[in-house]
Amino acid sequence: MEEVIVKPIIAKELLESLQTKVDEEKQVIVHCCFPASPFLGNLIRIWNTTYLVDNSSSHKSKLIHAENITIYPNWTAVPFMRDFWFTLIFSGLPKDCKSFDFKEIIPEEGGFFVKSIKRNSSDIYRIKISE
């Protein structure tokens, strides 16, 4: 008697939820340094409209989580004369992305921008930002 191999059928909803988990694994971590300032009372915040923009496509990785910094409209006080570090987690970049811009798209002056960050295999970056 011939053996029949039956391929299992996986529900579409389950496949979609698994794809979400796969996408989560591709997160990009950006450690940001706001350099020490000689001014008292500096405040900093990040907007939800901050992206990693692929330099060779129209892809934008969205901000997922911010650590040690507040999200607009709230402010975080920056320590006097000390570098201030915070961490941002973004959705994954495309596999073929070689470099990207860190861009805070906001309706006022002073959005953060770091041009042409070279992609690495770990997708963990340290950048220095300023207004």
pLDDT digits (tens, 9 = 90+) for 27-77: 999 999 999 888 778 899 999 999 999 999 999 999 999 999 999 999 999
Instruction: Choose between 21 and 128: higher pLDDT.
Output: 128
Examine residue 10 and state whether it is found in any structural domain, yes or no.
Answer: no
Examine residue 118 and state whether it is found in any structural domain, yes or no.
Answer: yes
Peptide bond into 73 cis (omega under 30): yes
Q: Each residue of 23-32: b (16+ CB within 10 Å) or e?
A: eeeebbebeb
In 1-131, which ranges are E strands? 28-34, 43-44, 50-54, 60-67, 76-77, 84-90, 99-104, 113-118, 124-128
| Average confidence (pLDDT) over 92-112 | 94
Examine residue 14 and state whether it is found in any structural domain, yes or no.
Answer: no
Band the pLDDT of 93: cuts 50, 70, 90.
very high
> Domain residues for 83?
27-128
pLDDT above 50 (res 24):
no
Examine residue 11 and state whether it is found in any structural domain, yes or no.
Answer: no
Token pair for 41:
């009372």
pLDDT above 60 (res 79):
yes
Examine residue 1 and state whether it is found in any structural domain, yes or no.
Answer: no
pLDDT above 60 (res 14):
yes
Q: Name the domain count of the chain.
A: 1
Q: What is the pLDDT of residue 5?
A: 63
Examine residue 59 and state whether it is found in any structural domain, yes or no.
Answer: yes
Examine residue 3 and state whether it is found in any structural domain, yes or no.
Answer: no
pLDDT above 50 (res 80):
yes
